[in-house]
Amino acid sequence: MGFHNTEEAIFTQPLDVSTSLKTETSTTITKPSNVTSTKCSTSSKKNFTNGLTNNHILRHSFRTPDAIKTPSNTPPTFLKNNNSVKVECQVRARIPTSTGEFFLHLYRNNRDNKEHLAVVYGDNIRSNSLDASRPEENEMDRIIRGAYKGRLKPGQIKSDISDGDDPNISSIQLPPPLVRIHSECFTGETVHSARCDCGEQLDEAMRLIQLEGHGVVIYLRQEGRGIGLADKLRAYNLQDLGYDTVTANLFLKHPPDLRNYDVATKILDDLNLSTIRLLTNNPDKIEQIEEAGIKVIERVPMIPITWQNNLDSNRIGKEVDQYLKVKVERMGHLLSIPETLLHIDNI
């Protein structure tokens, strides 16, 4: 397999959208009582998927021609058959950081025209599509696209170690890796917006994966829960007018969460990761990943740093608290709201 390389929103307020959404979800979303790691079993799975059917329905129910105006950079409507998605790792490169070395894998796929990424820590995790031989390529071609083992050295001309063994791969049996499936957030990761905790989540996921010794951050290019950066910024303006993040999306004719994880599950498959421990608070993400055949044996919560300490409700940065409250109260995310925020109205 190979891959070759009037958007004006209709500002019509949905009829009583805030009330209708609360009515539709209030019977199923339950607030978790703790934030400790959740092991997956028949009984515990209910705990972190309970109420998520509503979120799944909401994600698709607004996806109609007259309800969503689709700009060119909005992800296309995803097919239900996950087997139709194909991914291929185009190139891999070593990325040294201040805390350790990662390998950045760039993927192309047959679903959209975006370059999704896998940030891999640990030499035991390799890409099948990257390592596969390609027609008419020589050893230097393989080295340049990252299909080598071990570490490159000046003057190296072979992609594999001569004795067939990679000394960087330990023979010790490792537990299932930590995996974070992370959606792009330009505002939170690049300009450090305090409206969300996305940048913090990405940094924390990479830190935890390094502590574990192996794992992956799959970085999906689906900005703004899938609505794109332009509508995300429009939603920011609506939030300044008093809408919360869910109602702002609905005002712009989008579902609360348009994201899909088909490409992510195919990347996991390409990396030979069929059993994982997932860093997430989002039950909808767990459901989609498990429906695609990936076994999630443990949910590792992403607890915001600001919620791990005593809070001052008047402090600078309180917008992120309101954002997180909405994710818990209206989208069923699995976090316990600090006592100091329970009686503060959402913005």
Residues with active-site annotation? 257, 259
Helix (H) or strand (E) holding 325: helix 318-331
What is the rounded radius of gyration, in angstroms, for the C-alpha atoms of the chain?
Answer: 21
**What does the block give as tokens for 218?**
């799959």
Beta bridge partners of 82: none
**What does the block give as tokens for 187?**
């505002």
Helices and strands (H, E) in the chain, number of each type: 12, 8
CA distances from 133 to 119, 121, 139, 272 (A): 22, 23, 10, 17
d(CA 302, CA 251): 29
* ∠ CA 246-112-73, rounded to 5°: 50
**What does the block give as tokens for 36?**
């400790």
d(CA 269, CA 54): 28
